[in-house]
Amino acid sequence: MNYPQEANIVLDMKFKKMVKQRNRFAVFLSLIVLSIYFIFIGTATFRPELLAMPLEASKITIGLPIAAIVIVSSWVI
């Protein structure tokens, strides 16, 4: 390994800018996932009747597909 070359990369202003942008983007995506999760949990806690409504003529409630959407969207994000 060539440590002086690595030091030059780490000290480069373009590299620092790229790392800062990456971290900002990661925080943004984390906030989106947390918002989706807390909205779902808040709805389940304070208005459970909304998630308990049946889908059409089925015995499946609307909460099941919404929970699946929360899981899948968290994975995609």
Entry pTM: 0.78
Share of the chain above pLDDT 70, in %: 97
pLDDT in tens, 20-55: 999 999 999 999 999 999 999 999 999 999 999 999
Domain count for the chain, please give it: 1
* pLDDT of 61: 95
* pLDDT of 44: 96
Range of the domain at 52: 3-76
The C-alpha atoms of residue 20 and residue 52 are separated, in whole angstroms, by 43
Sign of CA dihedral 50, 54, 60, 62: negative
pLDDT at 2 over 80: no
